[in-house]
Amino acid sequence: MTDNSLRDRIQGNWKQLSGNVRHEWGKFTHNDVEQIKGDVEVLAGKIQEHYGVTKAEARKQIDQWASKFHAHETDQSESNKQAN
C-alpha cells in the first residue's frame, strides 16, 4: 500500500478502526485514540512514545495492522457477495 492510500484508508475507516487500535496497541489510552483521529503520523508517534520503537518500526507495525484489516474487510465483502 502506498502511504497516501494507507492514510486515506485509515482516516476513512477511523470509527471502525479506533476500537481495533486499542486492541492492537494495548498501552494506548482512550485519550490517545481520540488524539489520533485517523492521522497515521500521530498514530506512529503514539506507538513510538508508548513502545519505544523507531519511526520506521512504528510505520511497519501500522502497515501490518492495516493489511490485516484490509484482508478482513475483503473477506467480509466476499462473504456478503456469496450470501446474496
Reported as a single tens digit per residue, the pLDDT across 19-77 is 899 999 999 999 999 999 999 999 999 999 999 999 999 999 999 998 887 666 655 55
The confidence score (pLDDT) of residue 74 equals: 55
- DSSP 8-state class, residue 25: S
The confidence score (pLDDT) of residue 41 equals: 95
The total number of structural domains in the chain stands at 1
Residue 82 lies in a domain: no
Instruction: Quote the CA–CA distance of 45 and 59 in Å, as a whole number.
Output: 9
Domain range holding 61? 3-76
Reported as a single tens digit per residue, the pLDDT across 39-55 is 999 999 999 999 999 99
Check which CATH number belongs to the domain holding 21 and give it. Answer: 1.10.1470.10
pTM to 2 decimals?
Answer: 0.78
Residue 84 lies in a domain: no
Residue 26 lies in a domain: yes
44, three cell numbers: 506512529
Residue 83 lies in a domain: no
More confident residue, 53 or 78: 53
